[in-house]
Amino acid sequence: MKKPYVILIGSASGIGKSTVASELAKELGIKHLIETDFIREIVRGIIGPEYAPALHKSSFDAYTTIRDKEKFKESKKDLIEAGFEAHASLVIPAIEKVIKRAVDDFDDVVIEGVHLVPGLVNTEKFKNDASIHFFILSADEDVHKERFVKRAMKIKRGGKHLEYFKENRIIHDYLVEQANEHGVPVINNQSIECTLKRMLSIIREICKEMILKHSVNDLSEEINIVLNKYGGRIVDVSYFLPGFGEPLKRKVNVYDPREAKRFVDQLNQNPKRKKDLEKLYELSNNVHSHRICAPDIETLGKMVDDLDKSGLLFKQQKDYEDGVDENNTNA
C-alpha cells in the first residue's frame, strides 16, 4: 500500500522555501501545505514569554534571550546558533504532532519553515508509516541577500528583518551544516525549476543501476548530463576490481551540480589526489557502476540515451552483473 507523503522543507528566511513548497505541493497534488510559523503562533498562545522567551522572538534574534551570554562571549556565531536552536526546539514537538496526525489520517503534507532543523526533528519514528523526505534549501550569500531584502520589503517587519541579515546568514550556514551531518539533502535554490527537478528526483526515486566506462577526465561530461541537463542524482559508485568477489561500493549522493563541479575542480588542482583516483579507475579498467535517479521515467530514459550517445555507457554490462571477468573488460 502506498504510504502518505510527508515532505519537510527547511531553510533560513529569504531563500525561497515558501515558493518552492507551494510549487512542489502543486506538482505532487498535495493539498495540505503548512508553514511552521503558524505552528509557532499556536505554541506561543500556550506557552507565555516568561516561560519561553526564545519562542516569542524571531528565529534570528532569539539569541538575545539567552541568559548566560558570558558562555558565548568569544563567539557571537555560537550565541546566535544557541538562540535559534532554543527557539526551534520549542516548536518542533508541535511540528511532530502535525506529522503524526497527517500519517494517522493517511494525508499527504508539505511542511516548510525555518524551524525544520535536521537532527532535531525526529523523522525516524515516521519512516515505517510515511514516505518522508527532508530537504534544506540554500543559496549563495549575494543571492540570499537580494531575496532577503525583497522579502523584507513586502512584510510589515521589513525594517527589523533587514537589520538581521548577518544573523539570518549564520542560521543558513547552521542548517546546511546540520543537514550535511545528518544526511539531509541540501539543494541550492538557484531556480525553482532546477530545485523542483532535484527534489522530485529524490522523492519519486525513479532509479536505474548503470555501468559506465570512462576515464577520470570524463567526469565533467557525466556530471553535465546527469545533474545539469536532467536534474538527476548519483546515489553511489561501485568499482569492479580484479580479485574481489564484490564491487567496492561507496555512497556519494551527488545532486548539486555546483558541488560536483567543485569536486572536479579540486581534483584538477590536486595532482596527487587525481592520480590516486586514476589508479582506482585503471584497476577497474575504467568500468564502474552508479545508481542514478531522475525526476521521472521519461527523463531517466533520455539520460540513459545521452550517456550512451556520449560513449560513457558500458555495453558489456552482463559480464559485470555476473562478476568481473578479468579477461573481458573492454568495451
Cell of 285: 579498467
CA distance 26 to 123: 23
Answer yes or no: do 272 and 125 share one domain: no
Identify whether 228 is part of a domain: yes
Per-residue pLDDT at 204: 83
CA distance 175 to 38: 20
Identify whether 315 is part of a domain: yes
Task: Print the domain residue range for 179.
Answer: 5-200
Does residue 157 contact residue 57 with C-beta atoms inside 8 Å?
Answer: no
CATH of the domain at 212: 3.30.1340.20
Per-residue pLDDT at 160: 58
Q: Across the beta sheet with 287-294, what order do the strands follow?
A: 206-213, 287-294, 233-239, 248-254
Question: What's the pTM value of the predicted model, to 2 decimals?
Answer: 0.77
Does residue 250 contact residue 237 with C-beta atoms inside 8 Å?
Answer: yes
Does residue 307 contact residue 317 with C-beta atoms inside 8 Å?
Answer: no
Instruction: Name the phi and psi angles at 209, rounded to 5.
Output: -80, 120
Q: How many structural domains is the chain composed of?
A: 2
Query: What is the pLDDT tens value at each position of the chain, 331 positions in all?
Result: 679 999 999 999 989 999 999 999 999 999 999 999 999 999 999 999 999 999 999 999 999 999 988 888 889 999 999 999 999 999 999 999 999 999 999 999 999 999 999 999 999 999 999 999 999 999 999 999 888 887 777 665 555 567 888 999 999 999 999 999 998 999 999 899 989 988 988 888 789 999 999 999 999 999 999 999 998 889 999 998 888 888 899 988 888 888 899 999 999 999 999 999 999 999 999 999 999 998 889 999 999 999 999 999 996 554 444 444 333 333 3
The DSSP secondary structure of 160-199, one letter per residue, reads HHHHTHHHHHHHHHHHHHHHHHHT--EEE-S-HHHHHHHH
Answer yes or no: do 108 and 251 share one domain: no
CATH of the domain at 188: 3.40.50.300
